[in-house]
Amino acid sequence: MAKTARRRQTREESQAQTRERLLESASKLFCKHGVEATSIEQVTEEAGYSRGAFYSNFETRDVLVCAVLERELAQSQRRFEAIVNGELPQNLLAALREYYVNHATDPQGCMLGVAIQMYAFQNSKIRTRIASLLRSDQIRKLEILAQGTNPLAGRGVTLPAEPETLLLALTSLANGLCISWMVNRESVDVSKVREALQLTFDRVTGLDGRK
Q: Residue 36 above 80 pLDDT?
A: yes
Which is higher by pLDDT, 55 or 158?
55
Which is higher by pLDDT, 1 or 110?
110
Which is higher by pLDDT, 192 or 126?
126
Q: Identify the weakest region by mean pLDDT among 71-75, 109-113, 119-123, 201-205.
A: 201-205
What's the rounded mean pLDDT across residues 102-114? 84
Q: Residue 141 above 70 pLDDT?
A: yes
What's the rounded mean pLDDT across residues 161-185? 83
Describe the crossing of helices 89-104 and 163-183 by its angle, rounded to 10 degrees: 30
Q: Are 62 and 40 in contact (CB under 8 A)?
A: no
Residue type for position 154:
G
Residue 210 DSSP label: -
pLDDT tens track for 57-72: 999 999 999 999 999 9
Q: What is the pLDDT of residue 125?
A: 92
For the chain, percent of residues with pLDDT exceeding 70: 86
